[in-house]
Amino acid sequence: MRKRYLIEVAPNDQLIVFCPPSLMEDKVLNKIAFGSKSMEVDFRPHPDSHNRIVISKPIQKVLQFPNLRQPLHAFIENGVLYIGPLVGIFTAGFTQLPEQPIGERTAFFSKLLSVGKNVGACVFIFGEQHIDWEQGVIEGIFYHQQTWQSIEVPFPNVIYDRLPNRKSENSRKLTRVKQRLQKDYLIPWYNPGFFNKLDIYERLLQEGSVENYLPETHPFTSFSKIETMLAKYGHVYIKPKNGSLGLGIHQILYDRNSGYYYCRYQDRDEVNRLRKFSTLEKLFKWVFPNQSLENMVVQQGIHLIRTNQRAVDFRVHTNKDESGNWQVSAIAAKIAGQGSVTTHKRNGGEIKTIAEIFPNDECELYTKKLSQAALTLSQALERNISGIIGEIGFDLGIDKNGDVWLFEANSKPGRSIFTHPKLQQFDFLTRKLSLAYAVFLTEQSLMHPEELFK
């Protein structure tokens, strides 16, 4: 367990840092650092404290250390005492409103930044407009004592990517910022990029360990491919490659007895529809009249377990922890709305805990199966995707034979499951772990940079 120390700012002008004797034991220290700023100082043991590091006003000014009076970690490498970590959360969509600096996402960010003190990290949010490249500083936006405030700080030890959508992620300006901070400043950047469904499927297919979790999936190429899959599975799903929130998903079913095709989907007015067609061509002309199908994938339909005649799937969150290991941080059951093609809440779906819908034995069995699948898939994705991944939200299904299937993996998972009162403790856990991982990455970048930047 890493120890944390309260960083005190003393009202004197000495370039001396007072440390607990145990921290200085057998070590030669000549510099102190915070984020990208450092300076030479003298170090002396603090006779009266085991958990305080005391710096002076001039040291605070040079390091641009915000005195928020919270315990932080101390890392020692090559004669330098690093205090922090200083964690920057990179995002877009800022407003001019002092009380809502990130618009409707302000509430989420206030909750996320609030757990910084629980993990011993100094955390702020910023966008490309807050960076002063010439001075090497950032106008960081902090949430402290339930108010938002701007404080100028050095470049951070690590950056947590919370860009809100693919549009901002694909912005040339933001891409250049990311490349510059990673390549020129060697700052570890975690959770980059939204996942592409087909790309994820093809990468995971290379992993024998997860092949049994993958439903057959293909890019949309022709009606004959859909006919073949319908003959094999009875129903298929047509999904956008880069979709999210269950938008644009269509279920196509074939009734062998009548020879009719059925399509279940949600229309533009958010009404659940089920329509019948005599041919697949007519179905596509009606349901996708002016839509390009090049960006769609076709996926094998799974006969899911049901409760009260409604299909159930599961959202499983995994996070890297303070030791850099994957752990399951939340599991929720999602029950499909009446006539809905997905289990999403906006389509009439319901969120439940597994214990609420299954008896004890089944609950234990399904929890174990889902956890094992999510951890195996997390490790496989990490091996096959470039960049540093710190969290994943999986949409998993269990079929009537008890087998687990992967429907989607989300690099920036939504948080609608945490509206359930019994899942709010896991809301806290997922936020806590996402920042605890920043502590691990900071230590790795200082002690073993070759592991992160290989």
Residue type, 207: E
Whether 450 maps to a domain, the answer reads no
Residues 318 and 359 in one domain: yes
Residues 274 and 363 grouped into a single domain: no
Q: Check which CATH number belongs to the domain holding 49 and give it.
A: 2.40.40
Among 134-138, 223-227, 399-403, name the one with the lowest average pLDDT.
223-227
pTM of the model: 0.90
Residue 171 belongs to what domain range? 87-187
Please determine, for residue 434, whether its predicted confidence score (pLDDT) is greater than 70: yes
The reply to whether 278 and 415 lie within a common domain is no
- Domain ends where: 54, 84, 114? 84
How much is the pLDDT for 244? 57
Task: For residues 306-333, give the mean pLDDT.
Answer: 94
**173 lies in the same domain as 202:** no
Please identify, among 57, 84, 111, the residue that sits at the C-terminal boundary of a domain: 84
From 136, 169, 187, give the residue that closes a domain.
Answer: 187
On whether both 336 and 410 belong to a single domain, the answer is yes
Number of domains in the chain: 4
Do strands 306-307 and 37-40 pair parallel, antiparallel, or not at all (unpaired)?
Answer: unpaired
Same domain, residue pair 265 and 246: yes
Bigger pLDDT: 193 vs 435: 435
Q: What is the pLDDT of residue 332?
A: 95
Same domain, yes or no: 278 and 323: no
**Quick one: residue 387, left, alpha or beta (phi over 0 = left, psi -120 to 50 = alpha)?**
left
Helices H, strands E: what count in the chain?
Answer: 13, 27
Whether residues 207 and 331 share a domain: the answer is: yes
Q: Is residue 448 part of a domain?
A: no
Average pLDDT on 221-234 reads 89
Residue 292: helix, strand or coil by DSSP? coil
Are the C-beta atoms of residues 226 and 216 closer than 8 Å to each other?
no
* Alpha-carbon distance values, 99 to 14, 109, 277, 352, 388 (Å): 38, 12, 53, 33, 32
Q: What digits encode the pLDDT tens for the residues 91-137?
A: 999 999 989 999 999 999 999 999 999 999 999 999 999 999 999 99
Decide the pairing of beta strands 310-320 and 296-300: unpaired
**181 class by beta-carbon count within 10 Å (0-12 exposed, 13-18 middle, 19+ buried):** buried
- 359 contact partners, CB below 8 Å, separation of at least 6: none
Instruction: List the CATH number of the domain containing 203.
Output: 3.30.470.20
Once rounded to an integer, what is the mean pLDDT over residues 262-274? 83
Q: What's the one-letter identity of residue 157?
A: N
Flag whether 192 is in a domain.
no
Strands (E), 278-343: 296-300, 306-307, 310-320, 326-335
The predicted structure's pLDDT at residue 24: 87
- Lookup result for tokens 């120390």: 5
Is there a domain that residue 261 lies in?
A: yes
**Confidence category of residue 341, pLDDT binned at 50, 70, 90:** low
pLDDT of residue 199: 86
116 falls within a domain: yes
313 and 409 co-located in one domain: yes
